[in-house]
Structure formats: structure tokens, C-alpha cells
Structure 1
């Protein structure tokens, strides 16, 4: 029997609330990093330390997030999604409060590593919950919708952090992060249901998670070429994003002479590119498989990346030409991130937390390894463009050398043999909105 208009409206309202909740969770690590960016100079001055040491409070957070995902992912497969999530966010609150009163840079770095470790629970569980409830194009669509929330983090968080630090000094940023954690705990406690019932949880102990042949094992995932191929692509995409984030302040302000206010505006405009493309991707998934979209997006991304150094070297359009080129490159990432993530998770619904953890760790780890190359190669616009080209070329190389992808096109929702091996509980529970 068709749903009544009132029922459809209520269903859409619930879907929107669900997307907003998962999006807020997935964006917590990014908010934790980006809110803190404007405070770095003040931290170095107040704690009488070097710029390098102050910057390591950011690198430390990424390191903690990478390790945290590897630990929390299997825990969420063993004990359900809510408990690890609530504990992780609660500890995020505690470490945020401790960061606010840290007396020296060494302790602050240690606390930031712990903060990254615990708030990794938010992003891991958000992705695992999607895989618990959705498969195929529905999962890819929901991931695209989440990009809207995640994309807003680098747009709004630095501005909010600057406002907070400007009024109450840099330590207040951590009080604000603690408050965000409190709000998320209340939201999860009241409105987020448990999506992994006891009968679907892994019976093995967490310490056995890396052993061959045991469900939830990282070694199983690391031996799966198909999973690794699609798990590395989001990491390379994130490497492009972080290379831009790391390089653009120096390129725009020092090389092109823009004011901080103008740079902030351009940063926001470029962030909108990913938000728009991710929503276009969600609409395209109504008609095309995720792998088909990825097949087209990857070479287009490489072509646009190759055009970047040409714009820079010739000075075509000046700063406007550079911004336009970056806008198009960043926009293509809305098509690579969510589709590759869905393809990586496909076939691992029975260990979604573990798979999401390894995928997230690869994202953070690759981004952390790739982004410093911008500075190593000179910190100029050309070095930034060179790193972007390298990442785009690697994405295309991976797709070209993944046998199952080349042979079948991998319609989303099936593994190479058309099934989800070892995943008897996989469910396609409707659409993602």
C-alpha cells in the first residue's frame, strides 16, 4: 500500500534528522582540527614554544585519530555502536577540558593525541552505522549527503575558532570543543538507536582481530586487493584536500599577496565546491552505479589537476585563474570520496566497524604523509599543484590495475563474484534520501 503524503513527509523528516546526526558525528574530528587552526600562533607565543612544536599539536591529533580508528572499529563490531561511541565522545570532552588547562606544549601535544584517539569513535561509528542499515547505491547516496555536513566543517570551524579565541583566548577553543561533545552525547543518547543487534556482533575477542581467518580481522582486509584499492582512493583524495589546506595559506597570502580576510573567503568558496559536487553525486546515483561514476570522475580529476600548473606557470587569470582551477579539482573529490568508500565497504557488512576503521586510518595516514610534501617541494603554488597531480595520477593507476574493477565495472552492491561473501546479514534497507 502506498504511503500517504503525511507518512512520506514524516519519513523525509526522520531521514533528514538522521543525516544531520551522522554528519555531525562524522565531522567531529575535522571540527576538532579546524577550529584550532587560527589559534596556532597564540599557542606558540603563550606556551613559549616553536612554530614547529605548535604545529605538531595538529599532526598529533591526526596520529591519534588514525590509531583510534583501528582500535575502536573492532570494538564497535564486538560491543555494538552506541557504547564505544558514547565512551569515545565522553573522553573527547574530558581531553578537551584538559587541553584547555595544559601548562606546557609537551602535555598539550599528548592530550591532543588522546583527543584524536577518542573522537575517532565518532567518524568510525558514523560510517559503520550507514553500512549497518544500507548497501549499494543507498549507502553511496547517504555518504554523499554526509559530505554536505563534513564539507561545512572547514568552512565554519576556523571562523568560529577565530571568534572564540579572539574574545576569550585560545584556551576557550577547547571549552567550545568540550561543549560540542556534550551536545553530541545528548543527541546520541536520546535519538540514535543501536544498529548492530547482538546476533550480528562478532563473538571473538578484540585482541584476536588481527589474526588470519577470524571474522573482523584486519589481515583479512589487507589481503583483499579489491578492498585495498577502493580504500586507498579516499586516502589519496584526502591527500589532495590536505595538500590544499596546508599549502593554500602560504600560496594565497605570501605568493599572491591576499589578505587573511580574502583568503578566508576563498577558502570558503573552494569548500563549497565539494559540498555541491557531493550532492550532485547523490542525484546521479539514482541513475548510475557508483563504480560507473568513479570511472568517469577519476580521469576528469587528473585532467583538471594537469591544467593547474599550466595556469600557474602562464599566470593565466592570475589568482582568479588559480582559484577557479582549484575549485574544479576540489569539486571532483565529491565524486571520488563517497563512491570509493562505498565500494570499499561493500561485502563487509558483517565487520563494518573494522572495515570503516581501516579505511579511516588509511585516509588520515595517507593525508598526513602526502600533505607535508607541499612544503618539502618548496611550499609554492607549483609544488602544491605537483602533489595534487601525483595523487590524481595514483587514483587512476589504482583503478586501471584493479582487475575486478576493469573486468566487471563493479556495480555497487556486489563483490566481484556478485555476492557479499561472508556477509549473510547484508541488507539494503531502502534509500538514503
Structure 2
């Protein structure tokens, strides 16, 4: 599951060192326009997330997963020969839409087998490997650029996907219970997809996750310009970006060790309060210490670290009510998170003005709104720990 999810992270972060070369190759005048190579992929993944869960609930997890893998491989190879920047963006959109199953299905597969805090712990363990990719991916892209042009980064993506596909074919069983298969018809779609939006216990956590990860996507979109140009550390970009992302991998590991003891709610609520406080300091630093990488780097690293205590736990809590429709629930929740996060990330990136202030303000605003949304789902109470799960359409026994 970690290897499959990592392919999406690789398709995003391996491109970052090549954005300058891509802009030069296609003679892109607007410096912020190069960010669309990343932003369009994320946005398309959000739209694509609505599709695979429905088919996975009907035909099983494996067939849908392998179709997603095939699309990833083919579109990666086609991106190598894109004749124009617009065609490249179109292929990236197709790649993101078609491979959304790599983000959606792992959560559904895990939900087929586990629930509650144990599910949160397992997702955190997967995130340890998954989040190691943003640490290494820019260096992978940079290494390719040493020996070849940016097009060969896409060839590298295809090779990783072939390896992961072979591994899944050999190791991954079908996890969907035949009794839980659902027909694909308009009534099923209408019933399953809006269910998250009507479930108070889930909707606040889904929207909060989208907002907090929107800040991270904004950082990813503008990181190359922010670190390389504003702070003047272009040569050290893979190292600085990777070091900040490494804190997210560490916190995912730490979360996997403590979540069953303290509960997903207690851990994530504490992290959300801390996220707000650090974001407030980051706004101060962006104004008063605008040119200081020594201030920016530790603060963004701490915020990324806190996301490791938010993402997996928010996702686990939001999935808990959906026992017999995990695929559809995972689809709609992933779609909401990705669409909201990607749209916010693109907006933050396009607001880049040569300083870290737009990113800092976005992180602060998203933390405040996220806290309000979590309070809505929890009916005004934080740090609770329900004795048993609440299911939609299924008895807890």
C-alpha cells in the first residue's frame, strides 16, 4: 500500500527540480506558470478520486488498482514526448485523473480489514514509507537531470510504477467481502457519494484535512521558487526540501506508536492546536524576518511534522462511520480533500510574490478554519474518545 501511494508523491516531487528546465524548454514567460505541472496533477487527482471507489465496491479492489497503474505508466511515457506545454499539462491532468485509484484504494483496502485506532496506526505506518518519497524524490529528479534531460524523469516514474505493479500482482489479495459488493447505478451513486457531506461525524474532518493539506500543496507548488530564488539556495533545494519533508515521515512513525494508546482524536486535536500556534509564528517571521531561511526552515518543518499527526488520524476518524461502503466513502473523501487542497495549493502558488508571506498567511487561516470544522464534527468538544465506533448503515456488532 505504501509503495502504491508513493507513486503519486513521486509524480509530484520528482518534478520540482525540473520546473526551471521545463519552463525554458517550452519558453514559458510567466515564472508562476511552471507550477501548473504540479498543480494540475493534484487537481485532476481530486476529480478522479470520485471514480475508482465506486467500481472497486462493485468489481473488487485489484482490477481497479491495476487499471490505475496502467494509466500511470502509459501517461508517464507520453509525457516524455509532449510537443507543447499545453499538451504536457493535458497529459498530467489525464495522469492525475486516471491514477487517483492509487490514493483512494489503499484506505479502502485497509478499511476492509481494520477499524478505529488500529486502522489509524496502520495508515500511519504506511505514511512512514509514503512520506519518505518527498524526502528522496527531488534528489531522484536532480540525479536524472545530471545525466539526461527533464523528459527522462517521466521514464523513471514509469520504471517505478512497473516495479510496484509487479509487486502488487504477486502480493496483494482481494480484500473486498463478496457480501459487500454493490451495483453501480444512479441510485447507488446518489446514495454513496453525498453520504460524507451528510455525516456530521465525518464532514468536518474531511474538510479540515483538505485545508491543512492545501497549505502543504501550496508549499510544494512554490517551494522551488521560494527556496531557490527568494532564499537563494537553489543548489541546496533538494536537501532543504527533503529535510523539511523528512519531519512528516518522522511524525507519521511517531503517530503509529502512540495513536492506539491515546486515541486518534486526542492526538490530532493536540496537533491541530500546535499547528495554529506555529503558523502564527510563521506569519511573524515572514514579516519581520522575511529574508531569513534560518527562521523559515524550522517553522515549515515543524508544520509539516504536525501534519503527520493530522492526516492519518483525520482520515481514520472520517472513515469510521462507513462500514459497508468503504470504497465509495474513500472516493468521496479523497476527492474532497484533494480538490480543496489542490485548489488552495494552486491559489497559494499563484499568489507567490517573492516572499514567504502568502504561504504563511494561508497556513494560519487554514488552521483556524480547520479547528472550527473539527469542533463542528465533535459538537464543540475536543479530545474525546468514543467507546465504540459509529457506523452508517451497519450495526457496530
SS in 2 for 1:230: helix
Q: Which range moves more in the overlay, 182-191 or 312-321?
A: 312-321
Which residue is equivalent to 2:219? 244
Contact 1:74-1:206 within 8 A present in 2 as well: no
Contact 2:203-2:377 within 8 A present in 1 as well: no
Which residue is equivalent to 1:395? 370
Contact 1:270-1:330 within 8 A present in 2 as well: yes
2:385 counterpart of 1:406: no
Separation in 1, partners of 2:63, 2:24: 39
Cα offset, 1:142, TM superposition: 0.9
Which residue is equivalent to 2:329? 355
| TM-score (structure 1 length as normaliser) | 0.85
Structure 1 unaligned regions, length at least 5:
1-21, 428-433
Which residue is equivalent to 1:78? 58
Residues 63-142 of structure 1: pairs in structure 2 closer than 5 A: 63-142=43-122
Contact 1:140-1:342 within 8 A present in 2 as well: yes
Separation in 1, partners of 2:86, 2:288: 45
Q: Which range moves more in the overlay, 343-352 or 279-288?
A: 279-288
- Which of 359, 362, 366 in structure 2 is aligned with 1:384? 359
Structure 2 CA distance for partners of 1:55 and 1:209, relative to 1, 3 Å: farther
CA RMSD across the alignment: 2.3
Contact 1:290-1:412 within 8 A present in 2 as well: no
Residues 28-47 of structure 1: pairs in structure 2 closer than 5 A: 28-47=7-26
2:177 counterpart of 1:185: no
SS in 1 for 2:261: coil
Separation in 1, partners of 2:352, 2:85: 28
- Which of 121, 128, 153 in structure 2 is aligned with 1:173? 153
Cα offset, 1:410, TM superposition: 4.6
SS in 2 for 1:348: coil
Separation in 2, partners of 1:207, 1:174: 37
Separation in 1, partners of 2:219, 2:51: 29
SS in 2 for 1:266: helix
Which residue is equivalent to 1:331? 305
Separation in 2, partners of 1:56, 1:325: 26
Contact 2:13-2:137 within 8 A present in 1 as well: yes
Structure 2 CA distance for partners of 1:160 and 1:375, relative to 1, 3 Å: same
2:377 counterpart of 1:422: no
SS in 1 for 2:294: helix
Which residue is equivalent to 2:126? 146
Structure 2 CA distance for partners of 1:264 and 1:57, relative to 1, 3 Å: closer
Residues 216-295 of structure 1: pairs in structure 2 closer than 5 A: 217-257=192-232, 259-295=233-269
| TM-score (structure 2 length as normaliser) | 0.92
Contact 2:231-2:291 within 8 A present in 1 as well: no
Structure 2 CA distance for partners of 1:289 and 1:374, relative to 1, 3 Å: same
Contact 1:54-1:105 within 8 A present in 2 as well: no
Which residue is equivalent to 2:342? 368
Which residue is equivalent to 1:341? 315
Residues 294-313 of structure 1: pairs in structure 2 closer than 5 A: 294-313=268-287
Which residue is equivalent to 1:8? none
Structure 2 CA distance for partners of 1:50 and 1:407, relative to 1, 3 Å: closer
Contact 1:291-1:410 within 8 A present in 2 as well: yes
Contact 2:2-2:126 within 8 A present in 1 as well: yes
Listed one character per residue, the Cα deviations across residues 39-69 of structure 1 (whole Å, up to 9, x for unaligned) are: 2232233344555654433232123211211
- Which of 210, 226, 236 in structure 1 is aligned with 2:189? 210
Cα offset, 1:319, TM superposition: 2.4
Structure 2 CA distance for partners of 1:111 and 1:319, relative to 1, 3 Å: closer
SS in 1 for 2:237: helix
- Which of 159, 164, 169 in structure 1 is aligned with 2:139? 159
Q: Rg: which structure is higher?
A: 1
Which residue is equivalent to 1:11? none
